[in-house]
Chain A
Amino acid sequence: MTSVDRVQPAVSADDFIKGLWRENPVFVQVLGMCPVLAVTNSGINALAMGLATTFVLVLSNTLVSLLRRAIPRQVRIATFILIIASFVTVVDYLIQALSLELHRALGAFISLIVVNCLILGRAEAFASKNTVLRSILDGLGMGLGFTFALLCLGGVREILGSGALFGIALFPAGFQPWIVMLLPSGGFFTLGLWLLLFNYLRARRLEERGEAQGVVP
């Protein structure tokens, strides 16, 4: 019996939910910052990158979990990267078949999904140690949490930078767009504000929990 088989907790909804909020890959774990900052200048780009990452995450988690007993520790990282790179190539072809405009808009960032530390991180930390079903739920939760975070950034940046959301104009003709929000600096600025909000909510929740348990900070 290998170490991966010793403890196998049952499948729970927490496997899926934790990635959405409590362990959100962007707002809590601060992973995958390259695509987060680069492709979130519009809602549609954010959604496409989020879904592409989710697709790769779920499928790579599935295959890593399926093969976890056949992959020796010494070559596990090389094997995980091979699996992730293959699914990224698959998603690259699928997006090209779906829409060349979208493929061009996402540019080199599709290929860069390979080096998104979120995907390798979940393969190493979770999928290589857990059952297939739990790994799929983990990948799905983390992927959708990542997509949610990208949409939060993309939505704000597109609304303020273009006066639109998913290409639909939201303001009257006189609206002066904040071009800076579409530039890289706008990405950092928006991410900073979202992290501020998330950290405030987390601190408040910890404070409430501490008060409920009678702990004086």
Chain B
Amino acid sequence: MQAPGQTDNPLRAASWPMYRALVGVGMLCGLLIVSVYVLTLPAITRNETRALQQAVFQVLPGAVARTSFVLTAAGHFREAAEGDDPARMVHAGYTAEGQLAGIAIEGRAMGYQDVIRILYGYAPQQQVVVGMQVLASKETPGLGDRIEKDAGFRANFTALDVTLAADGVSLEHPVEAVKNGTRTAPWQIDGITGATISSSAVAGILNRSSAQWIPVIHQRQADFMRPEATDDQR
């Protein structure tokens, strides 16, 4: 019986140390990454929750308190509890007087390099998007990362029109991206020259997410009117 690496075929014998090194180092590195991931996950989750809370207040001007809601299978919103699916959650922001300032909605899509995660604020009374914040992005520094820093691009999201159509289940004008400097309508997003893919990705997120969430939120506005935000949510 031959030991591993001992073979009559000289080519196979020569390649055995290479397989051994690559597979061995690969397994070692995999184990290292998984161990560190498991160890750091609680702290990362805590930090992400805190960042999300801050982002809610950024995208909803005037909000001083927030409560998370989850969309149930029955089609209404209830206060979120631990273990609820984050993909079915939205975050309601309230003013100091307890009025609903708006709803913050998370969306994600593939950008140029990796997934872009954004949070945008929707004001149901005016039916406009009133703010947008990038939660996670690895877009090219100096180019794609301008979706976070470019003041002109961010200005698209101060009053982006997402008015519902007469049927109440779709938008009158779906959000669309246009070339930089060619915006003519309030539902259009002026792109960024040199960051076309990244800015179009953000517009795509808004397009799909608003079409999915805004009709439901608009119909169920009463679900968000209830609670007094608790101290830890302020």
**A4 beta carbon closer than 8 Å to chain B:** no
A73-85 CB mask vs B (1 if < 8 Å, else 0) is 0110011001101
Instruction: Report Cα–Cα, A89/B31, bound state, in Å.
Output: 12
Q: In the complex, are the beta carbons of B44 and A71 less than 8 A apart?
A: no
Q: In the complex, are the beta carbons of B51 and A108 less than 8 A apart?
A: no
Question: A79 is contacted by which of B25, B40, B48, B51 (Cβ under 8 Å)?
Answer: B25
Q: Which residues of chain A are within 8 angstroms of B141 by Cβ–Cβ distance?
A: 38, 107-109
**A213 beta carbon closer than 8 Å to chain B:** no
**A94 beta carbon closer than 8 Å to chain B:** yes
Output the least CB separation between B81 and chain A (Å). 24
Interface-facing stretch out of B14-22, B66-74, B82-90, B181-189: B14-22
**B32 beta carbon closer than 8 Å to chain A:** yes
**A96 beta carbon closer than 8 Å to chain B:** yes
Q: In the complex, are the beta carbons of A97 and B47 less than 8 A apart?
A: yes
The main secondary structure of chain A at its interface with chain B is helix
Output the least CB separation between A103 and chain B (Å). 9
Query: In the complex, how many residues of chain B place their beta carbon closer than 8 angstroms to a beta carbon of chain A?
Result: 29
Interface centre among A82, A97, A99, A109 (most CB of B within 10 A): A97
**B4 beta carbon closer than 8 Å to chain A:** no
Output the least CB separation between B14 and chain A (Å). 9
Instruction: Report Cα–Cα, A78/B32, bound state, in Å.
Output: 18
**B142 beta carbon closer than 8 Å to chain A:** yes
Question: A78 is contacted by which of B22, B48, B113, B142 (Cβ under 8 Å)?
Answer: B22
Q: Which residues of chain A are within 8 angstroms of B44 by Cβ–Cβ distance?
A: 93, 96-97, 100
Instruction: Report Cα–Cα, A107/B25, bound state, in Å.
Output: 28
List A residues 170-185 near B (Cβ within 8 Å).
Answer: 184
Q: In the complex where A74-B18, A78-B22, A108-B139 touch, is A86 in contact with B32 (Cβ < 8 A)?
A: yes
Instruction: Report Cα–Cα, A74/B141, bound state, in Å.
Output: 34
Instruction: Report Cα–Cα, A107/B145, bound state, in Å.
Output: 9
**B138 beta carbon closer than 8 Å to chain A:** yes
Sample of 6 further A-B pairs with CB below 8 A, known A79-B22, A90-B32, A109-B141: A38-B141, A75-B21, A79-B21, A93-B37, A97-B47, A184-B142
Query: Which 10 residue pairs of A and B lie closest in terms of their CB atoms, listed nearest first?
Result: A86-B29, A97-B43, A97-B40, A100-B47, A93-B40, A108-B138, A90-B36, A96-B44, A75-B18, A71-B21
